[in-house]
Each structure stands twice: as structure tokens, then as C-alpha cells.
């Protein structure tokens, strides 16, 4: 499909053609209309939105179908009535207009994140900063780490709001997560995943912006090793999609530095809100004492702060007896002592995601390759190490 606008066709002529095609065929998909008219899918969606507002067409998933009259039988302004009672656009004949400048048009982007109160507020802030610079409107929705909820929110953005593209932090695991990824692959708008990497079979259909959590965990291990710690443990929460990347970085860094892994705590825990957390916490600390582990990387901040409190209750000094580096740096500075932390580039991820999606939407090249952006976290050194 080519995405250039033919200069010989005025917008009113193009919309007349859209109505004509819909009248002949009933329902037509956006991408089929874009191919036939030799314009971008974005242009077709905007034409459909305008025609829908005027009562001539009805939006359906992935395309549109024609209606005979506007609301309450009123003919939209600028349209004539044929003898059979249907409405067709009145085409104004004049010299061809200059090619429309799609880059100057405001884009509307849907954004769905799983949390509005932890980790993702900074991602949203960065996205909004980039959106203001790029003249992009963001429609934000919060979900609940449930694939079904995420899909419901995304479908509303595509089918009801009529967004030009999607930014999403999707659930990708389990049957529902797999179904959600397949759905994202099938939608008629560009998709950029945030803090999620698509499986190989979906890499050609979606783009992504992620923090390099593998590198972040390795930075934490190297920091602790440079302080003289030779046995560095790991604690991650079971439900976290970040945990596998943190574990990979921890293991690879320990192997590179010649640090022992066998016998060193590598614990997958419930989170600190779970009723079983106190027992899990004591078991983790016992394991550190029994194995001679003198440092821990902990994901995430709530668990690390709770661990510090339990250390104080048990007379384990931080950092003298057990040094800690937390992962996320949302609340780490509020701990006593303040926690050394790996800070993912959350705002930068949000900015890059909007910039990437806007570039995809405004690039006329149909062969533009898929982009993957990986941004490195930072080490913030505080008193716990």
C-alpha cells in the first residue's frame, strides 16, 4: 500500500468515493479503502469519522458501512439527495488543491497502562511531554493487570474513540494474554508496546519501547561486587513481569564476575500485601544468614522497604550486615535508611513511545522497518549499600 495522498483528488472527492464504495459493497475495511484510494489508513479513518458525524456512514470494527440518511432523516450539509432518497456528497469542482500535510494534523493516541499509582505515572508524564511537543492528543485508560480488562479498554479506544494508534502495557502471559497479543496484531491501527517485548512471531506487527531490566540488574550486582560483596542474593515477586529480566541480569552478572550462585538465595516471593509475606520474609533473611549472603537485590520497593523494617526488628544492620539494592526507585528514598536503587528510565520510555508512534503514523513510507527502543536504567546510590 502506498501512503501518499494523490494531489488530483480533493478531500471532498475522496469522501464521495468512500461513500460510493460503501454503497456498492456494504461494509469495507479501512486498509482496503486506503489501498483503493491510494492514501494512508489515517486519512481514511478521519474521512470515516467525518462521514459518521454527518450521518452518512457507520463505523464498524476495522472499517465502515453506509447509512442512507443522517439522524432523524436530516440530510447533512453539503450533500445532495438522489431520486432514490439516499444522500451523496456534493463534489465541488475546482483546481487541484496542494497535497494535504498530514504531519500538521493532530493525532489521537490511546494509552492503556496497568497501574495509575505505581511505576507508570512517570511513564505517563513522559508520554504527555512528548505528546505536547508532537501535537498528539492522548486518551488515557487505566487497567488492572488483567488481559480481559485491557482488551476491553483497548477495543473501546479503537472502535468508539477512533484513535489513530495505541500505546499499551499489555498482559502477555496465559491464554488471555496470548489472545490479547493476537488481537493487538490484528487491529487496524499501529501499536507500540511499553515495557513489554513481543514474541518473535509478533515482532513484525508491533513495535516496542522498553527499559533494559537485564542491564539494570547487572548494574546492581556490579555495584555490590565493587563494594566487596562476594555472595549477592536475589528476591523477586512472583507476579511481576519484570522479574524474569531482573533474574536474567542478576545471574549473568554473577557468572561474569565469578560470584557463586549455588547456595545463594534466589527467591521468588509473594508480594508484601499477601498474608504469607511475613513468613516468606523471615525465611529469606534466614537463608541469607545461613549462606553467608551479605547483599541482596530486591524487586520491588515495597518488598525492600518491608525487608529493612524486619531487619531492624531482628537486629540485622543495613548495610553493615546486609546491603540492599532495590529495583524500581518509586519509594526507595523514603525508607530508613534510604535505599540504593536501580531507576528504570520511566519518563524516557513514555517519551520514546509517543515519539515512535507519531513517527510511524506520519511517515509515508509503507516499508518503514519495525523499531525496537531499549533504554538503560540508572543506579541511584543511597545509604543501604
For residue range 127-154, list pLDDT tens digits in order.
Answer: 999 999 999 999 999 999 999 999 999 9
- pLDDT at residue number 206: 85
Q: What is the mean pLDDT of residues 108-127?
A: 97
Of the two residues 66 and 156, the one the predictor is more confident about is 156
The 10s digit of each residue's pLDDT in 12-59 is: 888 888 888 888 888 888 878 888 888 777 778 778 878 877 788 887
Cβ atoms of 129 and 184 within 8 Å: the answer is no
pLDDT for residue 7 is more than 50: no
269 and 191 share one domain:
no
pLDDT band at 77 (very low <50, low <70, confident <90, very high): very low
Domain check: are 21 and 65 in the same one? yes
pLDDT tens digits for range 353-370: 999 999 999 887 778 888
Q: Please name which of 156, 135, 162 lies closest in space to residue 41, comparing C-alpha atoms.
A: 162
What pLDDT is recorded for position 201? 67
Nearest to 63 by CA among 35, 104, 92: 35
Share of the chain above pLDDT 90, in %: 63
Same domain, 206 and 147: yes
Does 138 fall in a domain? yes
Residues 269 and 288 in one domain: yes
Domain boundary among 89, 119, 143: 89
Q: What is the pLDDT of residue 64?
A: 79
Q: What is the mean pLDDT of residues 252-272?
A: 97
311 and 334 belong to one structural domain: yes
Residue 144 sits in the same domain as residue 63: no
DSSP state of 260: -
Residue 101 lies in a domain: no
Please say which residue of 61, 89, 117 terminates a domain: 89
Query: Which residue segment(s) compose the domain that 171 sits in?
Result: 106-212+348-376
Q: Is residue 94 pLDDT above 60, yes or no?
A: no
CB 337, CB 320: distance < 8 Å: no
Distance CA 385, CA 320 (A): 8
| Cα–Cα distance for residue pair 203/197, rounded to 1 Å | 8
Q: Name the band, by pLDDT with cuts 50, 70 and 90, for residue 204.
A: low
Contacts of 50 (CB under 8 A, 6+ apart): 15
Cα–Cα distance measured from residue 368 to residue 385, given in angstroms and rounded to the nearest whole number? 46
Residue 203 has a pLDDT of 66
Residue 72 belongs to domain with CATH number: 1.10.10.10
> Do 224 and 187 belong together in one domain?
no
Looking at the structure, tell me whether residues 326 and 239 fall in a common domain. Answer: yes
Q: What is the pLDDT of residue 154?
A: 96
Higher pLDDT: 63 or 121? It is: 121
Domain shared by 115 and 227, yes or no: no
Residue 165 lies in a domain: yes
CA nearest neighbour of 259 among 234, 285, 290, 284? 234
**In this predicted model, what pLDDT tens digit does every residue of 242-256 receive, in sequence order?**
999 999 999 999 999
Average pLDDT over residues 326-333: 98
Domain boundary among 89, 118, 147: 89
DSSP letters for 1-33: ---PPPTTS-HHHHHHHHHHHHHHHSEEEHHHH
Is 3 within the bounds of a domain? no
Residue 74 has a pLDDT of 39
pLDDT of residue 79: 43
Question: Would you place residue 103 in the very low, low, confident or very high pLDDT band (cuts 50, 70, 90)?
Answer: low
Number of domains in the chain: 3
pLDDT at 6 over 80: no
Element (H, E) at 209: strand 207-211
Please indicate, yes or no, whether residues 230 and 321 belong to a single structural domain of this protein: yes
Instruction: Return the pLDDT at 21.
Output: 87
Q: Please check whether residue 243 lies inside any domain of the structure.
A: yes
Give the mean model confidence (pLDDT) for residues 176-204. Answer: 86
Would 382 be classed as within a structural domain?
no
User: What's the mean pLDDT when you consider all of the chain?
Assistant: 86
How far is 226 from 180, CA to CA, in rounded Å?
A: 43
Question: pLDDT tens digits, residue range 218-244?
Answer: 999 999 999 999 999 999 999 899 999
The answer to whether residue 2 sits within a structural domain is no
- Better pLDDT: 289 or 38: 289
Bigger pLDDT: 164 vs 73: 164
In this structure, the answer to whether residues 231 and 125 fall within a common structural domain is no
What is residue 362's DSSP assignment?
A: H
Q: How far apart are CA 130 and CA 125, in angstroms?
A: 9
Top-confidence residue, 195 or 367: 195
2 pLDDT band, cuts 50/70/90, is very low
DSSP 158: I
pLDDT at 205 (0 to 100): 72
pLDDT of residue 91: 34
Domain identity same for 128 and 71: no
Is residue 68 in a domain?
A: yes
Lowest mean pLDDT among 87-96, 101-110, 204-213: 87-96
Output 79 or 270, whichever has higher pLDDT.
270
* CATH code assigned at 170: 3.40.50.2300
Amino acid at each position: 500500500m502506498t501512503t501518499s495522498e494523490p494531489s488530483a483528488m480533493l478531500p471532498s472527492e475522496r469522501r464521495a468515493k468512500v461513500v460510493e464504495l460503501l454503497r456498492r459493497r456494504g461494509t469495507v475495511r479501512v486498509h482496503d479503502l486506503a489501498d483503493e484510494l491510494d492514501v494512508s489508513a489515517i486519512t481514511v479513518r478521519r474521512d470515516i469519522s467525518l462521514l459518521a458525524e454527518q450521518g452518512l456512514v457507520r463505523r464498524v470494527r476495522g472499517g465502515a458501512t453506509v447509512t442512507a440518511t443522517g439522524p432523524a432523516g436530516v440530510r447533512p450539509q453539503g450533500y445532495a439527495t438522489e431520486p432514490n432518497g439516499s444522500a451523496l456528497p456534493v463534489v465541488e469542482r475546482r483546481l487541484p488543491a496542494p497535497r494535504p500535510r498530514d504531519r500538521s494534523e493532530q493525532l489521537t493516541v490511546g494509552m492503556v497502562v496497568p497501574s495509575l499509582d505505581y511505576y507508570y505515572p512517570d511513564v505517563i508524564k513522559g508520554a504527555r511531554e512528548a505528546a505536547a511537543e508532537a501535537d498528539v492528543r492522548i486518551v488515557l485508560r487505566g487497567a488492572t493487570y488483567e488481559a480481559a480488562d485491557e482488551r476491553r479498554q483497548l477495543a473501546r479506544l479503537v472502535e468508539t474513540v477512533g484513535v489513530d494508534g495505541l500505546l499499551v502495557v499489555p498482559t502477555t502471559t496465559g491464554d488471555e494474554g496470548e489472545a490479547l497479543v493476537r488481537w493487538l496484531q490484528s487491529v487496524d491501527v499501529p501499536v507500540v508496546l511499553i515495557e513489554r517485548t513481543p514474541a518473535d512471531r509478533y515482532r513484525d506487527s508491533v513495535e516496542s519501547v522498553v527499559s533494559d531490566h537485564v542491564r539494570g540488574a547487572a548494574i546492581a550486582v556490579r555495584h555490590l561486587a565493587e563494594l566487596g560483596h562476594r555472595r549477592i542474593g536475589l528476591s523477586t515477586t512472583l507476579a511481576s513481569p519484570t522479574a524474569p529480566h531482573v533474574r536474567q541480569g542478576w545471574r549473568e552478572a554473577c557468572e561474569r564476575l565469578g560470584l557463586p550462585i549455588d547456595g545463594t538465595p534466589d527467591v521468588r516471593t509473594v508480594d508484601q500485601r499477601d498474608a504469607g509475606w511475613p513468613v516468606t520474609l523471615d525465611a529469606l533473611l534466614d537463608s541469607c544468614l545461613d549462606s553467608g549472603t551479605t547483599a541482596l537485590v530486591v524487586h520491588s520497593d515495597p518488598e525492600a522497604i518491608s525487608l529493612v523494617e524486619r531487619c531492624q526488628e531482628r537486629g540485622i544492620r543495613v548495610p553493615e550486615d546486609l546491603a540492599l539494592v532495590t529495583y524500581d526507585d518509586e519509594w526507595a528514598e523514603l525508607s530508613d535508611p534510604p535505599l540504593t536503587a536501580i531507576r528504570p528510565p520511566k519518563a524516557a520510555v513514555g517519551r520514546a513511545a509517543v515519539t515512535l508512534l507519531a513517527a510511524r503514523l506520519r511517515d509515508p513510507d509503507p516499508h518503514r522497518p519495525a523499531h525496537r527502543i531499549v533504554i538503560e536504567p540508572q543506579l541511584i546510590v543511597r545509604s543501604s549499600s
